[in-house]
Chain A
Amino acid sequence: MNSLTPTEFLNLVNQTLDYSYSSTVIVGEVASFKVNQGKWVFFDIKDAESSVNCFMTLWSLRQPIEDGMKVMVRGVPKITKWGKFSFTVTSISPVGEGSLKKAYEMLKKKLTAEGLFDIGKKRPLPKDITSLGIISSTGAAGYADFIKIINARWGGIHAQVAHTQVQGMDAADQIIRALKYFNEHGEVQVIAILRGGGSADDLACFNDEALVREIAASKIPVITGIGHEIDESLADLAADVRASTPSNAAELLTPDRSEMSAKLSHTINRTEQLLLQEISRATTQNHDKLNNLSRSLLTDYIAPAISQNRQTINRVSGALLTRYIEPLRQSNHHKMTQILQKIQGECNLAQQNISNKLRTLEALNPEKVLKQGYAILSGKISPGNVVKITTFKESITAEIKQVHTRK
């Protein structure tokens, strides 16, 4: 049987452990947390019954950790050369609402003190975006919302999408790599980091210290659209612009083509109104000028000319009166007199004729005969008949006794 040295034995055991338990994840509570020589971190991770010694380098520590926090650690079990069991941690992150909140507050305080979130460092987003870097998971709902809205609102943008995880222990590193990629290539005007809503654990990667520092150091302006309105990550605080959601990020990055269309229409209408007002004003001004000009002509030229030529005008009008108008008037008067005389003669003749007829009628009037003593007998002349006798003054009824024929 081959014998082994202690070193060989431990190497063999460690190979076996590494093969069997590579990338093991343990979730538990932190105890006895301490940092040695500013480089090495030691702590225990425990539950109600057991405890595991953990070791890691300080630079691997991405979020503040302290005793009592619930954490998730990933690493490899190992036996040290002194024969002591240890879990070598490659990554650690708080889990559970309380621990996450505690870590968030601690890191926020630290980075705020460093000035990482200073408002003065924020850069405005470029107005006319034609190139955009997107960091998101292409399968995520938040990414789909962003693409849908940006396509509806605007066009002409070349968007390069870096597909990364947006939750879990590897997400922060992948997002950091994508940020480095866009900054190194320098082809985009702005970088959008997008992730839809999720639990505090889902969004924990956006409170990763290294990621927050990478965002703050980005040469290209960064906009974040992570979670919902109420979810404020440290990545949001470090970004130049924080959108409340991926959809909101799309709205902040692009103008709305329908709003632009309405604005265009309004601009043209406003310009048309202005033009019409100017034309109207110019027309009024020209009208006033013409009036002023005609008044000036009348006052300055025509009236003096009339005054100066008044004698000439009088002489001409007198000559016109004597030579033309008065003879015409005389001629008309003579004709009128002749017509009137003719009418008068006709009237006298008619009057004479009527008088003669009246006299004839007067002579035939029966009343005049009765007045001379005659009487009028009316009725059938026959003995025994009753007749009517009319005199000038009386009307008599008489019976006929006898009828004799005159000789």
Chain B
Amino acid sequence: MAEKLSLNQKIAKLDTEVEWFYSDDFKLEDATDRYKAAVKLAKEIENDLNSLKNEIEVLTEDFSK
């Protein structure tokens, strides 16, 4: 089963993926596949960005006492 990454983990992963294109490890033979993977990841992040909600919880503690 694929590892479920948080939004920030996905963003960090995308940064690493993009850095590869500028690194000495770059190989044209692998570039197209890695580019497709990066685009797919970017779309996932975009979807996450649009769907994530905050949870606001008002504590029940009484701070007046």
Contacts and interface: CB of A to CB of B under 8 A. Distances in A.
B56 A162 contact: no
Given A155-B52, A278-B31, A164 B58 contact: no
Contacts of A114: none
23 contacts: A151-B54, A154-B52, A155-B7, A155-B52, A155-B53, A155-B54, A158-B57, A159-B55, A160-B59, A162-B63, A163-B58, A165-B64, A181-B59, A181-B61, A260-B45, A265-B42, A271-B21, A274-B22, A275-B31, A275-B32, A278-B26, A278-B28, A278-B31
Interface string B29-60: 00110010011001001100111111111110
Nearest to B65: A177
Contacts of B8: 128
A159 to B, nearest CB: 5
B35 A271 contact: yes
Interface residues on B, range: 20 to 34
B63 A178 contact: yes
Contact of A268 (B31, B42, B51, B64): B42
A50 B55 CA distance: 55
Given A138-B58, A155-B51, A181-B63, 17 more contacts: A147-B56, A155-B49, A156-B52, A158-B54, A160-B59, A163-B63, A174-B63, A177-B63, A181-B59, A264-B45, A264-B46, A271-B18, A272-B35, A274-B22, A275-B31, A275-B35, A279-B28
A289 B63 CA distance: 78
Contacts, number: 88
Contacts of B18: 267, 270-271
Contacts of A181: 59, 61, 63
Contacts of B56: 147, 159, 161
Interface in A104-130: 128, 130
A278 B28 CA distance: 7
Contacts of B51: 155
Contacts of A128: 8
Contacts of A270: 18
A261 B61 CA distance: 38
Query: Which 3 pairs from chain A and chain B are nearest by CB?
Result: A155-B52, A128-B8, A156-B52
B57 A260 contact: no
Given A154-B52, A260-B49, A275 B21 contact: yes
